[in-house]
Every structure is written in structure tokens, then in C-alpha cells.
């Protein structure tokens, strides 16, 4: 469960820091030149990058004892937390 919190927070903050006048805005400008299906999971969409990170992290770390239901929960819980972080981020800004 702690992995879900850590990964979703890291990916969300990384995406938030790509907004204009933030430290990673140069990165977002570069990936926005790519098609949507590629730029969103690379960081322009906080939910998309979180989902990708959660999906691959679970698949790589739990390969030997894989469970589809746990994989789906892990990924969706991360996306859910990312949506909560977004609500907090937008409330503060």
C-alpha cells in the first residue's frame, strides 16, 4: 500500500511541475510535440503517467506471484490518489 502512495505522489508532482513557469515546463513543451497517445503517458497528463508507472511497476516487481485483481487494484488506486492530489493542487493554486 505504501508503494501506491509513493509512486502516485511522485508521478503526480512530476506532472504538476511541468505546468508553465515550473521547473519541468521545458520537458512538457518537448513532449507536447508528440501525438497525444504518447505525450500523455510521458507526463502531460498526471492520471496517465501515474497509471503507466503503477501498471509497469506492479508487473515488473510482482512478476513471479502475479495476480490480475491485485494488479488492477494497484493501478486504479494509484490513479485515484493522483486525482485526489490534483484536486488538492488545484485548490491551492
> Residue 10: which of 56, 62, 44, 49 has the closest Cα?
49
Q: Is the pLDDT of residue 91 over 80?
A: no
Q: Report pLDDT digits (tens) over 25-36.
A: 999 999 999 999
**Mean pLDDT of all residues belonging to the chain:** 91
Q: Is the pLDDT of residue 38 over 60?
A: yes
pLDDT value for 49 = 94
Written as nine digits, the cell of 4 is 501506491
Model confidence band, residue 92 (pLDDT cutoffs 50, 70, 90): low
Q: Domain range for residue 83?
A: 2-92
Written as nine digits, the cell of 13 is 508532482
Written as nine digits, the cell of 24 is 519541468
For residues 80 and 68, what is the distance between their CA atoms, to the nearest angstrom? 18
Written as nine digits, the cell of 46 is 498526471
pLDDT value for 89 = 80
Number of domains composing the chain: 1
Mean pLDDT of 52-74: 94
Name, in order, each residue with C-beta under 8 angstroms of 89's C-beta and a sequence gap of 6 or more.
12, 16
Amino acid at each position: 500500500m505504501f508503494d501506491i502512495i509513493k509512486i502516485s505522489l511522485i508521478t503526480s508532482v512530476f506532472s504538476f511541475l511541468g505546468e508553465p513557469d515550473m521547473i519541468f515546463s521545458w520537458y512538457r513543451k518537448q513532449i507536447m510535440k508528440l501525438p497525444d497517445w504518447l505525450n500523455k503517458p510521458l507526463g502531460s497528463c498526471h492520471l496517465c503517467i501515474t497509471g503507466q508507472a503503477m501498471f509497469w511497476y506492479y508487473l515488473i516487481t510482482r512478476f513471479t506471484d502475479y495476480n490480475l485483481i491485485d494488479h488492477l487494484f494497484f493501478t486504479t488506486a494509484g490513479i485515484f490518489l493522483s486525482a485526489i492530489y490534483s484536486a488538492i493542487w488545484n485548490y491551492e493554486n
